[in-house]
Structure 1
Amino acid sequence: MTRRQRNRTGAALALTTLLTLAGTSLAPAQPTVPPTAPAPIANATVVSNFLAAVQRGDRAQVAALLHPNVRWYQPGSNALSGLKPSREAVFAMSARIHEHTARSYRITDISALSTNGSSVAVRLHFSAASPVMVLDVDNIDVFKVQDGLITEVRVHSANLYHENAFWGN
């Protein structure tokens, strides 16, 4: 080995030692991988969990999945129609539904759950009985989900005439 080669080797070794002591290395940098955050719950899962909680009558789970300022749009021109601007207003509507139907109101079928961004559309079949008539109707409800909470619901009835007659004014 020539004197020049020995000087280069010595200089490289000194530089490597210095960098190692400083916490740096000449080795190629390894890509840093940021810590993985837990995956957000899929919007469809949030809605499925909400509907399952409604079917079980699990008020705590329903409340946990509704944003406190949820906006619930109920169609028609009946006692339930109009905007419900909060979780409390939705629970008040639910209480009125159960009172009117002697707690017979049920979601009997959930199908065709479809997503588009933050929106989840679901075909639901409802049944209930009042002292004077029976409700048997399909709805398509469109839910908006943000950060794992339902922030908006728009109900679309397949038979609004029948719902208006059933719920009355």
Structure 2
Amino acid sequence: MSEQTPAAVAASYFEALGRGDVPAAMGLLSPQVVWHQPGANRFSGNHAGVDGVGALLGGMMEVSEGSFQLAVTGPAMVNGELVAVPVRFTGNRAGASMDQAGVDLLTVQDGKIVEVHLFSSDGPAEDTFWGHA
């Protein structure tokens, strides 16, 4: 079986997220993945390893009362092992909502996502939605 290209790995990751298959999406992450969450909110900063990323995503689902969603909004852009994907992310919770564009930049090596950098179109609004710890 040949190794998947970075674009194919990214596509599989976003397809799994889109159908709510979090275990399949997490299975595409390297055990040593580093996730860079932007902003100045309770989730901002670097999260390391599958367990760290899982805790981050679980926390986001908890704060958003299960409403956090991510959708791909355009074609992936590939430059070697880097894959940039335009996304839209939304969430609702008591007294607050979020709906904005962003870019997820994945670094894929040896068929696994080893690094994730997220970019938000309105960082202050995202910070307000997630709140501070």
Assess same fold via TM > 0.5: yes
Aligned to 1:134: 97
Counterparts of 2:67 and 2:73 in 1: how far apart (Å)? 17
What is the CA-CA distance between 1:110 and the residue it aligns to? Answer: 3.2
Higher strand proportion (structure 1 or 2): 2
What is the CA-CA distance between 1:141 and the residue it aligns to? Answer: 1.1
Contact 2:87 2:101 in 1 (8 A): yes
* TM-score (norm. length: structure 2): 0.94
Please say if 1:92 is aligned against 2:65: no
Any runs of at least 4 consecutive aligned residues in structure 1 with deviations exceeding 6 A, and if so which?
A: none
- Relative to structure 1, is the Cα distance of residues 106 and 42 closer, same or farther in structure 2, using a 3 angstrom cutoff? same
- In the alignment, which of 109, 114, 119 is matched to residue 151 of structure 1? 114
Counterparts of 1:90 and 1:119 in 2: how far apart (Å)? 19
CA displacement, residues 79-106 of structure 1 (integer Å, 9 cap, x when unaligned): 1100001111110011111111111111
- Number of aligned residue pairs: give it: 132
Q: Give SS of 2:73's match.
A: strand
Computing the radius of gyration over CA atoms, which structure comes out larger, 1 or 2? 1
Give, as a single letter, the amino acid of the residue that structure 2 aligns with 1:166. F
CA displacement, residues 108-150 of structure 1 (integer Å, 9 cap, x when unaligned): 3331310000000001001110111110011111100001000
Aligned to 2:76: 113
Give, as a single letter, the amino acid of the residue that structure 2 aligns with 1:102. E
Highest RCO, 1 vs 2 (Cα 8 Å, sep ≥ 6): 2
- RMSD (Å) for aligned C-alpha atoms: 1.1
Give the share of equivalent positions with the same residue, in percent.
Answer: 31
* TM-score (norm. length: structure 1): 0.75
What is the CA-CA distance between 1:39 and the residue it aligns to? Answer: 3.1
How do residues 45-64 of structure 1 correspond to structure 2 at under 5 angstroms?
A: 45-64=8-27
Counterparts of 1:109 and 1:44 in 2: how far apart (Å)? 13
Give, as a single letter, the amino acid of the residue that structure 1 aligns with 2:62. E
